[in-house]
Amino acid sequence: MEEISKESNNDGNYPEELKEKGRAGLLLASMKYFKFDPKISNDLSIMKSEILDKFGPGPDEENTPQSQESCDNGDIVDGVLPINENFVEYIEKFDLKQPQCGQTIDGLEPPDFPPIKILHGLIKTCGRPFEKQLTKSDVKDDQSRLTVPKQMFDTFIKPVMNKSENIINGVPVTTFDSKGNAYPMTLKIWSSKTHVLTAGWKNFYLENKFIAHKDWITIWVCRLKETTETNNSLCFVIMARRFPIEKLLPKKLKTTRKRKHENHQKKESKKRGLMG
């Protein structure tokens, strides 16, 4: 404290070094209130897990990678994701719509890493988790695939993939359930807008007893620490949360209006350019 006082000027100004530290502290404290673009948030999440993983386990975490510290949150039960009970009470009172791309229906954010202890030490890095409502076709026996909308794929899955992984030909992946059971699957693209997890999905949803519309699945796209010739490092972890929702929620009309408004602005801007 005496050194700080000596370095400070008589007019109450602080030394530049302390000012920089203060600004940095305020920035870090306020970052949780920032609304980042989904892709930027996902990239930051991947960078965070990669950086923390380099430090290795601490003296009390010999078998738990540092990048998975969020798994041991006291509010998280192994293999279970919490549900916002206040939201459940009001489901029937509101005309619910689909949340924005990948966001949770009840506002509870999932942990950065899957809360499944058996997977500790196996997973190296994870992208930002996202949530999807299961449709009837997702759990239809003659379909045997989980569809992932293009926007979700581009935002949450693609940033974790390597350039050498070709989804047109199919990428072998390992998908883990809430108990840590592994299911070999294939990530493919069936058309320009239809991305799917197949070749193993049917066994996955049958054994986990998923229900269309009621179940909202949280998906983590991760990289395993060790791979073999038959085991690609790309993996998925999928856990479900069940809500008393009996139908597929419609998309928000607000998004459509916003898109029309943006298109209108582009047309007006183009007209002004031609007139000028």
Structure tokens given for 130: 């996202």
19 domain-assigned: no
The pLDDT-based confidence of 4 (bands split at 50, 70, 90) is: very low
5 domain-assigned: no
120 domain-assigned: yes
Structure tokens given for 64: 């738990």
* Residues contacting 69, CB < 8 A, separation 6+: 52
28 domain-assigned: no
Please tell me the predicted confidence (pLDDT) of residue 229: 54
177 domain-assigned: yes
Which residues span the domain enclosing 185?
37-263
The rounded Cα 11 to chain-centroid distance in angstroms is 49
Give per-residue pLDDT as tens, 41-95: 555 655 655 555 554 444 443 333 333 333 344 345 677 899 998 898 888 888 8
The three-class DSSP label of residue 98 is coil
17 domain-assigned: no
13 has a pLDDT exceeding 90: no
Specify the number of domains making up the chain.
1
Mean pLDDT, rounded, of the chain: 78
Give per-residue pLDDT as tens, 254-270: 545 566 666 767 776 66
124 domain-assigned: yes
242 domain-assigned: yes
CATH of the domain at 68: 2.40.330.10
The rounded Cα 245 to chain-centroid distance in angstroms is 22
Nearest in space to 130 (alpha carbons), one of 114, 151, 115, 152: 152
